[in-house]
Structure 1
Amino acid sequence: MARISGNRKVETVALKEVQPLTGYIRGGVTALASKKDYPVYLDETATLFEQIGVNLASLLPGASSTKSELVV
């Protein structure tokens, strides 16, 4: 992931930094339907599906993105 994204290294965010960074509580964070624009990298097999479901727990049940809404 680091090489593909042009970074030296990548790592997960510490739990205490999740809400201040993303605006979401733990368990409500999703890269495909966030409030802010973050770079998202998907495997090319994601293009095989017309829709990709997004699990936002109780925040927005049943959300999904169409293929045309994703930058691939």
Structure 2
Amino acid sequence: MTDHSKTNAMRLLDAAKLPYEARFFDASAALSGVEVAAELGLDPDRVFKTLVTQGKTSEHYVFMIPVACELDLKKAAACAGEKSIAMIKSRELLPLTGYVHGGCSPLGMHKLFATAIDETAALYDTIFFSGGRIGCQIETSPHALEQLVGLRYADLTVV
């Protein structure tokens, strides 16, 4: 059974009076982002995964890229103004963000981190990303997301 209760991400969108739609799916099987897009009948280029990284300075950064793509760590470091950047370990995700792997939303983390999104997001009126729990995706405009997390657009993926 799918839990349709509000997540922190949805509550933030509601409080800001920003339009969104929550899409729920059966997450009993571990699904990749590409599989989630297929499950919901979505173009994987419009479905973004949320990745949390740490720079050489120990600062944390959030990057959002299409689910079928891979984060280019050199491009991410340049975007963040860091010498280098690395993905955080899975076990660090929950205490740092309040989210589990596969359910990490750019909205509603314990702390607001500098967030960048792949420049391809600007091609779409709406994009999809985790709603803050496994089995939930949020559809909203990149502009709405930008109002809440101050997005920076950049070329972030491996070619």
Fold shared per TM-score above 0.5: yes
- Structure 1 segments (4+ residues) deviating >4 Å: none
How well do the aligned residues superpose, as a CA RMSD in angstroms? 1.9
Name the amino acid aligned to 1:47. Answer: A
The residue aligned with 1:67 is 142
Q: How does 1:49-68 map to 2 (within 5 A)?
A: 49-56=124-131, 57-58=134-135, 61-68=136-143
Q: Which has the higher strand share?
A: 2
The residue aligned with 1:37 is 112
2:95 paired with 1:20:
yes
1: CA distance, partners of 2:140 / 2:85: 26
Quote the offset at 1:39 in angstroms.
1.6
Distance 1:34 1:64, change over 3 A: farther
Aligned residues: 69
**Larger Rg, first or second structure (1 or 2):** 2
> Which segments of 5 or more consecutive residues in structure 1 lack a partner in the other structure?
none
Q: TM-score, normalised by structure 2?
A: 0.38
Q: Secondary structure in 1 aligned to 2:92? A: helix
Quote the offset at 1:64 in angstroms.
2.1
Quote the offset at 1:14 in angstroms.
1.0
Name the amino acid aligned to 2:143. Answer: S
Quote the offset at 1:28 in angstroms.
1.3
Q: Secondary structure in 2 aligned to 1:19? A: helix
Q: TM-score, normalised by structure 1?
A: 0.74
